[in-house]
Amino acid sequence: MEGEYAGRNRRRSERINVAFTLVYNVENPYSLRISLGSVDDIDALMIDLSDIGMAITTRYDLPLGTKLYIKFNVIDLHLAGDDRWRHMEITGEVVSNIVLPDTSQRKSHRIGVNFINVSSEDKIAITDFVKRNRKPGTK
């Protein structure tokens, strides 16, 4: 664990706050995958997104360096028809883990994930999504 969230912006790429559900599974280390009961898909909530990574909240304490296989849909209300949503499957690495204030009987963790395997099409789609959905007045 990294400690408490200090609110610092260390990101190299523009990001926006989102609220997308996703599923992930642990690819590495195998010992963590076993300790989680070899669960294939774990539900989580994406709370921010950029073309190089995301932050999620999960009830699991994922150590730094853990490799995740993440599946999610990006829904862009600024587009129409089939262009409105895009399914993505991305591999990422845990780069931060912050225990969130206890809001229930279970602890939650804010996990920072850097993408390590993302298709160029998905990267472009995320970049365009971020640009279209940023708050007015931001660059």
Residues 67-115 have pLDDT tens digits of 999 999 998 888 888 888 899 999 999 999 999 887 666 689 999 999 9
List the one residue out of 102, 97, 109, 41 whose CA is nearest residue 69. Answer: 41
Q: What is the pTM of this model?
A: 0.82
Q: What's the pLDDT at 98?
A: 94
Q: What's the pLDDT at 29?
A: 80
Domains and CATH numbers, the chain: 15-133 (2.40.10.220)
What average pLDDT does the segment 118-130 reach?
Answer: 94
Q: What's the pLDDT at 103?
A: 64
CA dist., res. 25 & res. 36, Å (int) = 10
